[in-house]
Amino acid sequence: MKITHIEHIGIAVKSLEESIAYYEGVLGLKCYAVEEVKEQRVKTAFFMVGQTKIELLESTDPEGPVGKFVEKKGEGVHHVAFATTGLEETLAEVEGKGVMLIDKKPRKGAEGLDIAFLHPKSTHGVLTELCENKNK
Ligand code: CMX
């Protein structure tokens, strides 16, 4: 397992439009992409902060993962994504150490990254995403 950096922090919001106005108008960051990830039932907006991104997540379906999260806990940090290499082997390794995988195999996420989630119940409360950028 080789984690290189925090790829992004996912933040659940009620409205992309209103939160983009905060990140741009108050924090002075620039939204460089807005993308819908249909499979995850979210619309996302990305900001670069050094080599780490902020990913805002607005649900497109109250029954989707972010819709349920916002209903239960309100807006806030939803997940932390670590960049790694050899994602498939990494998943086998963490599963071998007793971590519950949400995704047994990598799948495609926003920005064309290969991603997989680890269950927050086996990661001390943090929904954890591992991702690999094979486009580099
Ligand atoms: N962070 C920490 N804990 C979380 C959580 C989160 N983001 N989401 C849910 N939980 C907790 C719940 O509070 C609950 O805890 P309690 O049992 O103590 O109440 C437990 O996990 C189970 O929650 P649940 O509501 O019963 O289960 P869900 O059906 O909501 O599923 C989860 C939770 C994490 C398995 C599901 O959201 C999932 O598969 N997530 C991965 C995919 C995803 O989040 N996609 C959106 C982002 C996509 C993107 O970045 O592109």
CATH number at residue 124: 3.10.180.10
**Tokens linked to 79:** 């997940």
Alpha carbon distance 60, 38 (integer Å)? 8
Q: Rounded to an integer, what distance in angstroms lies between the CA atom of residue 57 and that of residue 60?
A: 9
Domain extent at residue 61: 3-132
Cα of 107 to ligand 1 centre, how many Å? 17
Q: What is the DSSP string of 8-64?
A: EEEEEES-HHHHHHHHHHTT---EEEEEEEGGGTEEEEEEEETTEEEEEEEESSTTS
Beta strands 52-59 and 42-49: pairing type?
antiparallel
Residues 128/79, Cβ–Cβ less than 8 Å: yes
How many domains, in total, are found in the chain?
A: 1
Q: Over the range 6-20, which residues count as b (16 or more CB within 10 Å of their CB) and which as e?
A: ebbbbbbbeebeebb
On the question of pLDDT at 134 being above 90, the answer is no
Q: pLDDT value at position 51?
A: 93
Between CA 124 and CA 129 the distance in angstroms is: 14
How many CB atoms neighbour CB 106 within 10 A? Answer: 18
Average pLDDT over residues 56-75: 98
Q: State the closest ligand 1 atom to the C-alpha of 8, by its place in the atom list counted from 1.
A: 50
Q: Which two tokens stand for residue 18?
A: 């209103």
What pLDDT score was predicted for residue 16?
Answer: 98
pLDDT at 82 over 90: yes
Instruction: Please state the rounded mean pLDDT for residues 41-63.
Output: 97
Mean pLDDT of 91-108: 96
User: Which residues line the pocket of ligand 1, CB cutoff 6 A?
Assistant: 10, 37, 40, 42, 44, 55, 57, 65-66, 68-69, 78-79, 102, 109-110, 117, 119-121, 125, 127
Mean pLDDT value across the chain? 96
Confidence at residue 136, expressed as pLDDT on a 0 to 100 scale: 72
Instruction: Say what percent of the chain tops pLDDT 90.
Output: 93
pLDDT at 103 over 80: yes
Residue 119 φ then ψ, to 5°: -70, 135
pLDDT at 1: 84
**Which atom from ligand 1 is nearest to the alpha carbon of 109?**
51
Tens of pLDDT, residues 29-39: 999 999 999 99
**131 vs 136, more confident:** 131
pLDDT in the model for residue 60: 98
